[in-house]
Chains A and B, each alone.
Chain A
């Protein structure tokens, strides 16, 4: 692989790590170390979605709860009356 091709692959990898799509969420679960910036974070957040997912050294928890009432598309059902 040429150097140019290698740089292109790395660029694409970094680009894929950014964005606010749910597919970019870190896949592991558990408590992260307090000094490790997260992958898929935003270095220069401007919008709400970017601010809450901005890069940080703060301790974080990745959690994927099992919620039986969550709808197939990931949306929430209406509250009961």
Chain B
């Protein structure tokens, strides 16, 4: 079932990445777009926007229309710190409700498009897919509220035809810091190094992990993840081709791409984000064997201690795994797991800045068992009203550690 789902995702991912843009109507003139929340997010979060957007349109207890645009994390931070509006007339994306299109599939169907209304719109929510300090060290405006969300992993990807299996910290340093002069065979052709522009979390996260500042990287800089995918897949030099992607982007393209295991500085072996190249459990992200990950940061505005948009805060709290009222009519952990992110409550390690050292972490309300039941199989005991846990806490039907 998982394979079928991913095949469908892979088949539709590129199409899905492109919104239908012709003759867009102003968003505020589209019937049914109730309780709109405007979000400016990293393009690694597109899959989350589509899947959660669909669920929120149909969330009977509290329906919200998520209207979103994608941009670099650093750009998004600036937008909410400086209150920079998305310009009027800009095409932004949203997804249909079940009533509007019952067959729409978040994995394969394209988003719909509307235009930002007259006057523009400061995003209600801005997202960075890494620590904000990797973009700016300035003190955030006091009115901006920060919430840490799920964990985003990043990978080095190569065409499926490549025979390469792993890349070490030192190889990555020479490949992307020196280019051809680095002589890190086979990655010595700078036209086959597909990277991102300097505002993008994918580049900044990797930069912090291999010790090559983002503006020093050698290679072909691309604005979007889909462009890197489009570079890698048809490469006529698969052995020399390598690119950087969000893990969830790679996960949807596993039929045409491969990810390389990464050996961090001081590490004895290289590991994939998942426990094997074919699994989806993010085990090595969760336990610290795979180091290239960042928390997602979600920002909204609360100038006087109360959020300007309660609907925006509701969405953010859901993404972060917080308890919300009213409870949603869907399983948010399943949404997060389905788009390749890892809930913070399933992590066993943490860090305090981009690429920083890992330390052990025990989430206050663990969801390890629940998460593993979604992405692999849980070895935890199940529990319920008539089946108490002998140790730990019964949560979501599993005996969690705490």
The answer to whether B276 has its CB under 8 Å from any CB of chain A is yes
Is the Cβ of B288 less than 8 Å from the Cβ of A51? yes
In the complex, the answer to whether B349 meets A31 with C-beta atoms within 8 Å is no
Neighbouring A residues of B288 by C-beta, 8 Å: 45, 51-52, 54
Q: For the complex, is A46 an interface residue (Cβ under 8 Å from B)? A: yes
Smallest distance from the beta carbon of B379 to chain A beta carbons, Å? 12
B360 touches A67 (CB 8 A): no
Q: How far is the CA of A49 from the CA of B276 in the complex (A)?
A: 22
Chain B residue nearest to A40 in the complex (CB): B268
Cβ contact within 8 Å between A31 and B170: no
User: Are B276 and A65 in contact, CB atoms less than 8 angstroms apart?
Assistant: no
Q: Mark A52-79, 1 if CB is under 8 A from B, else 0.
A: 1110111111110111111000001001
Bound complex: CA A76 to CA B182 (Å): 11
Instruction: Tell me whether A52 and B358 are in contact (CB under 8 A).
Output: yes
B287 / chain A contacts, CB cutoff of 8 Å: 51, 54, 56
Tell me how many residues of A have a C-beta within 8 Å of chain B.
36
**Hey, what's the 0/1 contact readout for A32-56 against B, CB within 8 Å counting as 1?**
1010001011000111110111101
Q: How far is the CA of A61 from the CA of B360 in the complex (A)?
A: 24
Indicate if B18 sits at the interface (CB-CB under 8 A). no
Q: Is the CB of A46 within 8 A of B360?
A: yes
Nearest CB of B to A60, in Å: 4
- Inter-subunit contact A61/B268 (CB<8 Å): no
CA distance A70 to B276 in the complex (A): 30
- B178 in the interface, Cβ–Cβ < 8 Å? yes
Known A-B contacts A58-B284, A65-B184; A76 and B269 likewise in contact (beta carbons under 8 Å)? no
Give the B interface residue count (CB, 8 A).
Answer: 42
Q: How far is the CA of A22 from the CA of B224 in the complex (A)?
A: 38
B171 adjacent to A65 (CB under 8 Å): yes
- In the complex, what residues of A have CB within 8 A of residue B181's CB? 80
| Complex contact B178–A67 (CB within 8 A) | no
Partner among B168, B171, B269, B359 whose Cβ is within 8 Å of the Cβ of A48: B359
B166 at the A interface (CB under 8 A):
yes
Q: Do residues A69 and B289 form an inter-chain contact, with CB atoms below 8 A?
A: no
Task: Check A65 against B168 for contact (C-beta < 8 Å).
Answer: yes
The answer to whether B178 touches A80 (Cβ under 8 A) is yes
Contacts of B291 in A (CB 8 A): 52
**CB-based contact A52/B264 at 8 Å:** yes
Residues in B lying within 8 Å of A, measured CB to CB: 165-166, 168, 170-171, 173-174, 177-178, 181-185, 211-213, 216, 261, 263-264, 266-272, 275-277, 283-284, 287-289, 291, 349, 357-360
A47 contacts across to B, CB distance below 8 A: 357
Contact B184 A67 (CB under 8 A): yes
Distance in Å: Cβ of A42 to nearest Cβ of chain B: 10
Q: Is the Cβ of A59 less than 8 Å from the Cβ of B272? A: yes
Instruction: Judge whether B289 and A56 touch: CB under 8 Å.
Output: yes
Residues of B within 8 A of A31 (CB): 165
- In Å, the complex CA distance between A53 and B265 comes to 11
B178 touches A38 (CB 8 A): no
18 CB < 8 A contacts A-B: A24-B268, A26-B269, A34-B275, A47-B357, A48-B359, A51-B288, A52-B266, A53-B266, A54-B287, A56-B275, A57-B275, A58-B283, A59-B272, A61-B165, A61-B166, A61-B261, A67-B183, A80-B177
Query: 15 other contacts beyond A52-B358, A58-B272, A69-B174, with CB at 8 A cut-off?
Result: A20-B266, A46-B360, A51-B287, A51-B349, A51-B360, A58-B284, A58-B289, A59-B275, A59-B277, A61-B165, A61-B261, A62-B269, A63-B270, A69-B178, A76-B173
Q: What residue of chain A has the Cβ atom nearest to residue B266's Cβ?
A: A49
For A34, give its contact among B165, B173, B261, B276 (CB under 8 Å): B276
Give the residues in chain B near A58, CB-CB below 8 Å. Answer: 271-272, 275-276, 283-284, 289
Q: Which residues of chain B have C-beta atoms less than 8 A from A54's C-beta?
A: 287-289
Which of A34, A40, A69 is packed against the most chain B CB atoms within 10 Å?
A: A69
A46 to B348, CA, bound (A): 12
How many Å lie between the Cα of A24 and that of B266 in the bound state? 11
Given contacts A52-B289, A54-B289, A58-B289, contact A25 B358 (CB under 8 A): no
A57 to B270, CA, bound (A): 13
CB contacts (< 8 Å) of A41 on chain B: these are 268
Query: In the complex, what distance in Å separates the CA atom of A67 from the CA atom of B263?
Result: 15
